[in-house]
C-alpha cells in the first residue's frame, strides 16, 4: 500500500473536488480525508453566516413549524417538513411549498420543488438565494 496513488472525487454544491495524494498507510489517508472534510464544512459555515443568514433564519423558522406538525426528528433535511411516516403523494402543490414561496416571494417550479425536497437546510438556503436573484423566479412571473 505504501506509495499507492489515490484519487477521490467529492461532489459538493455542483462542484467536484479531486484530491490526489500518496498513501503512506491507513492512518495518513484517514487523517487527510477528515481534515479536508472539516475545512470544507468550516468554509461553508462561514459563507452561510455572512451571505445568507437572513434566508437561513427564515427558512429554519418554516422548517421548525412543519417539523413540529409532523413530529419528525430534527435532521435539518427539508423532507422532514412532510410526514416521514406517511410520505406525501404531492410535494409541489402543498402548504409547505406555498409557505416557502410566500416567505421569499419566489415562484418554485415543480422540478425545483423536487430538488428542494432532497436538500439539507444549508443547501436549500443557497438554492433559495439563487432563486431570489433570478428575476424569472419572482412570484407573479
Sign for the pseudo-dihedral over CA of 98, 104, 108, 114: negative
H-assigned helices in the chain: 26-51, 53-70, 95-104, 110-117, 121-133
pLDDT for 83-123, tens place per residue? 988 888 889 999 999 999 999 999 999 999 999 999 999 99
pTM score, whole prediction: 0.65
What pLDDT, on the 0 to 100 scale, is given for residue 50?
A: 53
Percent of the chain residues topping a pLDDT of 90: 47
Long-range contacts from 36-40, C-beta under 8 angstroms, 24+ separation: 40/12
What's the half-sphere exposure (Cβ side, CA atoms, 13 Å) at 94?
Answer: 16
**Rg, Å, the chain Cα set:** 19
Give me the pLDDT at residue 47, please: 47
pLDDT of residue 84: 85
Residues in the chain with pLDDT values less than 70: 1-51
Place of cell 451571505: 51
Amino acid at each position: 500500500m505504501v506509495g499507492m496513488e489515490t484519487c477521490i472525487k467529492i461532489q459538493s454544491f455542483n462542484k467536484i473536488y479531486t484530491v490526489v495524494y500518496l498513501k503512506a498507510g491507513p492512518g495518513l489517508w484517514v487523517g487527510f480525508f477528515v481534515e479536508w472534510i472539516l475545512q470544507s464544512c468550516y468554509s461553508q459555515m462561514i459563507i452561510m453566516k455572512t451571505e445568507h443568514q437572513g434566508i437561513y433564519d427564515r427558512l429554519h423558522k418554516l422548517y421548525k413549524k412543519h417539523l413540529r406538525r409532523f413530529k419528525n426528528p430534527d435532521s435539518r433535511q427539508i423532507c422532514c417538513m412532510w410526514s416521514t411516516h406517511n410520505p406525501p403523494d404531492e410535494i409541489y402543490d402543498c402548504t409547505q411549498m406555498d409557505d416557502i414561496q410566500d416567505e421569499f416571494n419566489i415562484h418554485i417550479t415543480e422540478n425545483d420543488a423536487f430538488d428542494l425536497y432532497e436538500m439539507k437546510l444549508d443547501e436549500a438556503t443557497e438554492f433559495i438565494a439563487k432563486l431570489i436573484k433570478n428575476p424569472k423566479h419572482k412570484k407573479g412571473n
